[in-house]
Amino acid sequence: MHAIRIEEHGGPEVLRWTELPEPAPGPGEALVRLGAAGVNYMDVGARTGGGPGWAAPAVLGAEGMGHVVALGEGVQDLTVGDRVAWFYHPGSYAELLAVPADSLVKVPDGISDETAAAVMMQGLTASHLSTETYPIGPDDTAVVHAAAGGVGQLLTQMIRARGGRVIGLVSREEKVPLAKEAGAEQVLVHSGGGFETRIRELTDGRGADVVYDGGGTGTFRSSQLALRPHGVHAYYGPFMGTPTLRPTDLPNSILLTYPVVHHHVATRESLLRRTGEVFDLVLAGRLVPRVTGRYPLADAARAHADIESRRTTGKLLLLP
């Protein structure tokens, strides 16, 4: 079988289409043939700088969906032929994967393979951000960075489903219609900071209740200045950089949180509950992922170059 492997960290050119031995499922594992793998900024960070669990050499990718082709000893809740998806399994850019059965969820009838792959990492991230990180309620105002991106579009739809209002931020004018289509009431075009004054104008001077900030260190300060007193700054994403911060730098008694991927679904129970909620929203037509890029798995380097360009919108998928 083949996989996308790196021998060293670097640019997209280090992604190599590599032939590897076919994996065998161990106890408690299922062998899955890939149907689609999601592309995330996390993958770019793993490629360029590594991080815990991503030391080179490594097969990249963390999410996807596929079909069960064999079962290891002790697996009882799955059968060969099941369509399954996973939220976080390092090494997902591969034609075949041996995945712990506890990391897999069954894909309901009525949800396509591509949709299932598109809502795992980003959909569960958006679900966690809009419920546990800050439980959006009716009439709450949320600022969503990268509102035309994969997480941003799903997060905007979930906020609207919970009765909240969204002010979206996008990097280019051509992305404005996509953010509005997802449900943002106002959309501001900004490539960095400096948007806090406009946010305050749009909230009659009060400030936003929550800012979902996946923009990195360049937007860190402005996100905080855009909040009301005791508002929540949700600074998410593992490879955005770490700002230098003293507690006295925080304005308006705001609350700062750094939600990380492993806290989105910390247990098997939370994985099943949260994916069930996301799948229900999809089936009800209230959550519509927008797949905008489909690449052969062997062409992962092009997908990485495209997502790094910041010109992409929606979700990018790798197809075997």
- At 241-250, the pLDDT tens digits run 678 888 888 8
- Residue pair 232/209 in contact (Cβ under 8 Å)? The answer is yes
Q: What percent of the chain has pLDDT over 90?
A: 82
Q: Kindly report the average pLDDT of the chain as a whole number.
A: 94
pLDDT attached to residue 240: 64
Q: What is the pLDDT of residue 190?
A: 87
SS (H, E, C) 254-311: CEEECCCHHHHCCCHHHHHHHHHHHHHHHHCCCCCCCEEEEEEHHHHHHHHHHHHCCC
Determine phi and psi for 101, rounding to 5 degrees: -60, -30
Does position 237 have pLDDT exceeding 80, yes or no?
no
Whole-angstrom Cα distance, residue 128 to residue 261?
Answer: 9
Compute the chain's Rg from CA coordinates. 20
CA dist., res. 160 & res. 140, Å (int): 10
Residue 279's closest CA among 17, 2, 83, 88?
83
Domains along the chain with CATH numbers: 2-119+289-319 (3.90.180.10), 126-262 (3.40.50.720)
Phi–psi pair at 242, nearest 5 degrees: -115, 110
Is the pTM here over 0.75, yes or no?
A: yes
Spatial neighbors of 218 by CB under 8 A, at least 6 apart, are: 192, 193
Residue 261's Cβ-side half-sphere holds a number of Cα atoms within 13 Å equal to 19
Buried b vs exposed e over 266-289: b needs ≥16 C-beta within 10 Å? eeeeebeebbebbbebbeeeebeb
Give the model's confidence band at 188: pLDDT under 50 very low, under 70 low, under 90 confident, else very high: very high
33, 96 Cβ separation under 8 angstroms:
yes
Using pLDDT thresholds of 50, 70 and 90, give the confidence band for residue 266: confident
Q: Which of 57, 63, 115, 60 is nearest to 88 (CA)?
A: 63
**133-187 confidence digits (pLDDT tens):** 999 999 999 999 999 988 999 999 999 999 999 999 999 999 999 999 999 999 9
Residue 216 has pLDDT above 70, yes or no: yes
Amino acid in position 187? V
pLDDT at 239: 62
**pLDDT confidence of residue 257:** 93
Lowest mean pLDDT among 80-89, 125-134, 285-294, 303-312: 303-312
* pLDDT recorded at residue 260: 80
Compute the distance between CA of residue 163 and CA of residue 166 in angstroms, rounded to an integer: 10
Q: What is the pLDDT of residues 35-85, one digit of tens each?
A: 999 999 889 989 998 777 788 999 999 999 999 999 999 999 999 999 999
CA–CA separation, 63 and 51 (whole Å): 17
